Amino acid sequence: MLGVITQTDIESEDPSPEGLHKVGTVARIMKILKMPDGSTTAILQGRKRFTPGAYINNDKMLEAEINILEDNIPLADLEFNAMISSVRDYAKKIIELSPNIPSEANMMIQNIRNNGFLLNFISSNMNLGVDKKQEILAVDDYTEKAELIMSAMNQELQLLQIKDKIETRVRGDLEKQQKEYFLNQQLKTIQEELGGNPQEEELNRLQLRADRKNWPKEAKESFDREIIKARRINPQIAEYSVILNYLELMLDLPWNDVTKDVFNLKKVKAVLDKDHFGLEDVKNRIIEHLAVLKLKGDMKAPILCLVGPPGVGKTSLGKSIATALRRQFIRMSLGGLHDESEIRGHRKTYIGAMPGRIVQSIKKAKSSNPVFILDEIDKLGKDFRGDPSSALLEVLDPEQNSTFHDNYLDLDYDLSRVLFVATANSLSSIQPALLDRMEIIEISGYSLEEKVEIAKRHLIPKQLKEHGLKDKAAILSPNILQYIIQKYTRESGVRSLDRTLAGVMRSVAKKVAMDEEYNPKISEKDISHSLGPVKYDNEQYTKVDLPGVAVGLAWTRVGGDILFIEASTSKGKGKLVLTGNLGDVMKESASTALSYIKAHSTSLGIDPDLFENIDLHIHVPEGAIPKDGPSAGVTMLTAITSALKGKPVKPFLAMTGEITLRGKVLPVGGIKEKVLAARRSGITEIMLCEENKRHVEQIPADYIKGINFTYVTKMDQVIENALGFLVF
């Protein structure tokens, strides 16, 4: 029998009584084993706890008197029994999770009935440090001892659970990798048996295409780097497909591939004249560009911007340019585009990344010098995803687009050989910096005569073909075409006219299909039957003898129109009333005109005190239609003066021009549309600013036959010409 007691300093070879703990264990030597390394191991069996008393001998061994500590185990305590039950449960779970403890140990623990022995047995076999075990040994209260053991077992259980979870996950990952490895090896073996690896064959095919490719040095180096990377990585990895798509894009892009231009300028002009009636300025500009290209051999293509109302043929003109040059044609609609990545592309690091629409369109064209239509450039959006109009600056700048950088391609691509043609309905919404990059070509609306010619040459043959009718199945005379244009359409272009003619052709097709007899020469009655009642009644000028009524000329998005402006006076306190849904600019024109008249009332023969005793009301009919612009300035001036003087305006006279407080008349735009509208309405005399004379000279003489033009520079000239009296 021995008294076994731990020392406080484990490094000490010969501890003194002061270096020992105060509680030890009486133990019996069960067996002594000689180990292979020469050491001796003793197996002991603990019997009782003790505390050492007086030490008797300290020579060869420590001898001391001891005090046996009796164990007071509570038998009927419910809390202690519950703790013992929990200890057994913890022990069971720990044994199940510990691979080094045999499962029979669980049965042995369940069969131990002595609760004190159970606690001592478990604490002695737990994976605890010496200090912790000594702490448990020293506790006399078995309830407290059970609590300490439970706490230690709980920590042990949590560690084992975490360890088991980690091992299970690692085991699962290894098993998955091993499975994939074996499957890939089997697949490789099967592919070799069948005749080669498809991934390797695909990369070899791409390499073969690359060897034949005519492309820049930077593009070739980038391709070589990517294909080496593709050969190294596993085809099952997601990155492999990303690299493969990138390599295919690089090979599909026409880096230095161009189509040969046709420089037979007479033939080009013939194609443009055949496809489009009118638009002489635009066609001449295109011929000039091609002439320079022919003489120089190459040039930085300017960016043309065709601006005009809807339906005048801006987009189809671009197609005609491509046909005439025998270049590839690309059309990209920018209407509603608000993501900058649509222009520049996404970076390859993003899931689902794609190149921008510029590069995609070039790839589709298979040529580096196509005609590229940027449709509706004035309708670009802008939001938190970026500003595409700013991204287009690089595309449309001839000094920059030779090194256009697409985020997906991550290489510079030369766009300088592309002939960009932008189209827009209005310049007001285009970013100024972008507008500066483009050469603006204004396309005004078509006159009545031009629309008749377009219908005869293009629209009627097209609609006859689309409705399965023969050439003589429907005959529309010029008078009938004029009737349709004036009564059923109101537009600058011919898109609505095309739809209206389609309605006439459908009516004819119905009669032909049902074998009904009909007259191929379409009459006004047939038109009313096919298209219903007249939609528009163009306002004709009627002679007005009342003072205060003047006729102005207005430009609208559907062409020109005449505008009646009415002014009347009534007793009041000098108030100015404006009605007719007028915009801010028109209201300012009315105020400016009235201020000018007040300032020059003496020279106009108007009593200055009159303005304080009357209210002036200016009204522009058709109040439901918004009206704005500076063009009505001279008309406002004439109407107000006419009302104040009580003198009617000269009949069959229309006018347009902007006014200033210092008495100047300024030029305005849309002259062609305004003059044609005046002619349609029966006006015989038009008054314009002197600077607008050059715009009138550009209108074909046939379209303005029978109209007299009066040009003015000052506001008093307007009053003299309109009202027929001299201004002093």
Q: At which residue do the structure tokens 């030779």 appear?
A: 402
Q: Which of 145, 283, 314, 674 is catalytic?
A: 674
Taking the C-alpha atoms of residue 322 and residue 319, their distance in angstroms, rounded to an integer, is 5
Residue 604: partners with Cβ closer than 8 Å, 6 or more residues away? 597, 641, 644, 645, 719, 727
195: left (phi over 0), alpha (psi -120 to 50) or beta: left
Burial class (CB in 10 A: 0-12, 13-18, 19+), 94: buried
For residue 447, the 8-state DSSP code is: P
- Quickly count helices (H) and strands (E) in the chain: 26, 20
Q: Bridge partners of 2?
A: 27
Helix spans in 195-216 (H): 198-212
Supply φ then ψ for residue 706, to 5 degrees. Answer: 90, 5
Supply φ then ψ for residue 287, to 5 degrees. Answer: -65, -40
Q: Is 629 in contact with 563 (CB distance < 8 Å)?
A: no
Residue 305: partners with Cβ closer than 8 Å, 6 or more residues away? 377, 421, 422, 423, 424, 435, 438, 439, 440, 441
Burial class (CB in 10 A: 0-12, 13-18, 19+), 106: middle
Q: Is 356 in contact with 342 (CB distance < 8 Å)?
A: yes
* Strands annotated E in 506-627: 549-556, 559-571, 576-579, 614-619
Q: Which two tokens stand for residue 620?
A: 């522009």
Q: Which of 689, 659, 648, 441 is nearest to 551 (CA)?
A: 648
Taking the C-alpha atoms of residue 423 and residue 7, their distance in angstroms, rounded to an integer, is 96
Supply φ then ψ for residue 98, to 5 degrees. Answer: -95, 115
Q: Which helix (H) or strand (E) is 331 found in, with range?
A: strand 329-333
Look up 674 and say whether it is catalytic.
yes
Burial class (CB in 10 A: 0-12, 13-18, 19+), 87: buried
Q: Which of 361, 631, 642, 681 is catalytic?
A: 631
Q: Is 341 in contact with 403 (CB distance < 8 Å)?
A: no
Taking the C-alpha atoms of residue 23 and residue 6, their distance in angstroms, rounded to an integer, is 9
> 708-712 and 685-689 as β-strands: parallel, antiparallel, unpaired?
parallel
Q: Which helix (H) or strand (E) is 675 found in, with range?
A: helix 671-680
Q: Which two tokens stand for residue 131?
A: 């200090």
Residues with a catalytic annotation lie at 631, 674
